[in-house]
């Protein structure tokens, strides 16, 4: 039982809490459920497109609105949980996720779709850093690595499960544009109860209301080379995730003639599952070589995607998603680790936030460019051009990494 505060009459309110071990898994559940909501609309965009009669470009712009919400949350709320506590920061994140689901539940026009996506981005931006920190806090110092792996798994697992859940429900159940969000609201209700009863792992000053302030992107001069190399690789990887998440259902339907919503959700799930596998299993295996190997995986994956679109092969599209997903997962985790390792202790959070700002810009702007090109020259041609561009970007990162590695070897 935890004292929550005192009333004006002097009575003390108490909030019953569970054990840290139980709270750890409840926070992990809430993390996964929140991330499910961020990708839930993915296979449904084609239905909205048919109902509201908008272009492929508009699909990518609606998708990019999510990144706007994430960036706003990262820049404004990035350090809030250190000052008000993990629990009090997680609850507003869940509230934003619930509001997003409600907006989508009753959406009947483009304006509400944009509002729902921004709210979804806010929930993800608040949750990503706060939930990861809460899991590390609740696990204790001896289990930091385990907590980080769980955070990675539930984050990417939730992102991948959203399209799969929505696609299956939309394919097999009634009300395809309503039921997925109603189910998600039920999941959020359970997650909110779990977070409400979690013990607060951070000591905070009672009644303190810190002012909201924008976290300025910053990269210390001595580590800018490392940051740029990792950021280029991360940019390429997140552009791939954005492409598959935003327009893969349109690719399947328009280019390959495959209109199953469950299949569309399954393709996106496969990419995120591969990313999770790359982060958890392959990075420990390849060690310091993970970042260049991940870049190579992105190059090969984009090559497979270009060929698959050119010859209209679903098998090659799936292979591209798996290979690129593995490469994205490896380059992301290894790049973030390299940035964190060189960042000064007093600036580590700010540098990590800057890194994530780059990644979420990559999640949105290239995909909007893909939408513009799709309206001009068609999905297949624009998809091939996008694949070549991302492969070239990953190639630039790979060359820079190999040169830096040779320079370090000479110094040793």
Model confidence at 15, in pLDDT bands (50, 70, 90)? low
Does residue 6 belong to any structural domain of this protein?
no
- Does 355 share its domain with 391? yes
Does residue 8 belong to any structural domain of this protein?
no
pLDDT for 49-87, tens place per residue? 989 988 888 988 998 899 889 888 888 776 667 677 888
Q: Which residue has the higher pLDDT, 84 or 47?
A: 47
Q: Which DSSP helix (H) or strand (E) runs through 288?
A: none
Instruction: Using the 3D structure, point to which of 202, 228, 249 is the last residue of a domain.
Output: 202
Residue 95 has pLDDT above 70, yes or no: yes
- Rounded to an integer, what distance in angstroms lies between the CA atom of residue 51 and that of residue 60? 16
Does residue 46 belong to any structural domain of this protein?
yes
- Does 122 share its domain with 233? no
Instruction: Using the 3D structure, point to which of 202, 234, 249 is the last residue of a domain.
Output: 202
Does residue 77 belong to any structural domain of this protein?
yes
Tokens of residue 229, six digits: 């190399």
Does residue 400 belong to any structural domain of this protein?
yes
Model confidence at 215, in pLDDT bands (50, 70, 90)? low
- Does 231 share its domain with 84? no
pLDDT given at position 345: 64
Instruction: Using the 3D structure, point to which of 174, 202, 230 is the last residue of a domain.
Output: 202
Residue 8 has pLDDT above 60, yes or no: no
- On average, the pLDDT of the chain sits at 86
Model confidence at 97, in pLDDT bands (50, 70, 90)? very high
Residue 185: give its domain's CATH number: 1.20.1250.20
Model confidence at 320, in pLDDT bands (50, 70, 90)? very high
Model confidence at 346, in pLDDT bands (50, 70, 90)? low
- Does 280 share its domain with 362? yes
137-151, 205-219, 250-264: least confident range: 205-219
- Rounded to an integer, what distance in angstroms lies between the CA atom of residue 313 and that of residue 382? 16
pTM of the prediction? Answer: 0.86
Instruction: Report the pLDDT averaged over residues 309-316.
Output: 92
pLDDT given at position 5: 43
Kindly give the interhelix angle for 45-52 and 224-250, rounded to the nearest 10 degrees.
Answer: 60
Residue 361 has pLDDT above 90, yes or no: no
When divided into structural domains, the chain yields a total of: 2
- Does 224 share its domain with 355? yes
Residue 312 has pLDDT above 80, yes or no: yes
- Does 257 share its domain with 404? yes
Tokens of residue 139, six digits: 């696990």
Does residue 302 belong to any structural domain of this protein?
yes
- Does 397 share its domain with 273? yes
Residue 296 has pLDDT above 80, yes or no: yes
Domain that holds residue 368: 218-412
Does residue 377 belong to any structural domain of this protein?
yes
SS3 label, residue 12: strand
pLDDT given at position 208: 60
Does residue 9 belong to any structural domain of this protein?
no
> CB burial class (10 A; 0-12, 13-18, 19+) of residue 104?
buried
Q: Which residue has the higher pLDDT, 5 or 199?
A: 199
Q: Which residue has the higher pLDDT, 82 or 3?
A: 82
DSSP class per residue in 179-218: HHHHHHHHHHHHHHHHHHTS---S---TT--PPP-PPPP-
Instruction: Report the pLDDT averaged over residues 316-335.
Output: 94
């Amino acid at each position: 039982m935890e004292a929550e505060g005192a009333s004006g009459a002097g009575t003390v309110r108490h909030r019953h809490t569970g054990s840290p071990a139980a709270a750890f898994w409840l926070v992990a559940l809430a993390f996964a459920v929140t991330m499910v909501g961020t990708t839930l609309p993915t296979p449904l965009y084609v239905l909205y497109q048919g109902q509201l009669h908008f272009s492929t470009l508009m699909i990518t712009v609606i998708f990019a609105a999510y990144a706007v919400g994430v960036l706003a949350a990262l820049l404004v709320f990035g350090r809030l949980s250190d000052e008000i506590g993990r629990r009090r920061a997680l609850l507003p994140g869940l509230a934003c996720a619930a509001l997003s689901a409600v907006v989508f539940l009753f959406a009947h026009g483009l304006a509400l779709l944009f509002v729902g996506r921004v709210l979804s981005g806010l929930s993800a931006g608040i949750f990503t850093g706060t939930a990861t920190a809460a899991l590390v806090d609740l696990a204790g110092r001896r289990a930091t690595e385990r907590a980080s792996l769980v955070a990675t798994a539930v984050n990417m697992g939730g992102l991948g499960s959203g399209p799969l859940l929505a696609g299956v429900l939309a394919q097999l159940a009634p009300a395809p544009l309503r039921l997925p969000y109603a189910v998600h609201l039920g999941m959020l209700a359970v997650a909110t109860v779990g977070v409400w009863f979690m013990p607060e792992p951070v000591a905070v000053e009672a009644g303190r209301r810190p002012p909201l302030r924008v976290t300025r992107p910053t990269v210390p001069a001595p580590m800018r080379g490392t940051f740029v190399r990792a950021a280029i690789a991360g940019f390429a990887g997140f552009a791939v995730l954005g492409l598959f998440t935003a327009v893969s259902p349109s690719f399947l339907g328009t280019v390959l003639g495959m209109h199953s919503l469950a299949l569309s959700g399954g393709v996106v799930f496969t990419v995120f599952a591969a990313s999770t596998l790359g982060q958890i299993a392959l990075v420990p295996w390849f060690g310091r070589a993970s970042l260049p190997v991940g870049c190579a995986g992105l190059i090969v994956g984009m090559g497979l995607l270009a060929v698959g679109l050119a010859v209209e092969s679903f098998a090659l599209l799936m292979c591209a998603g798996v290979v690129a997903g593995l490469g994205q997962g490896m380059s992301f985790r290894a790049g973030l680790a390299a940035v964190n390792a060189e960042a000064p202790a007093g600036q580590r959070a700010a540098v990590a936030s800057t890194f994530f700002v780059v990644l979420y810009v990559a999640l949105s702007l290239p995909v909007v460019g893909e939408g513009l090109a799709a309206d001009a020259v068609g999905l297949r041609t624009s998809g091939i051009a996008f694949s070549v561009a991302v492969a070239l970007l990953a190639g630039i990162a790979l060359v820079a990494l190999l040169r830096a590695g040779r320079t370090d070897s000479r110094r040793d």
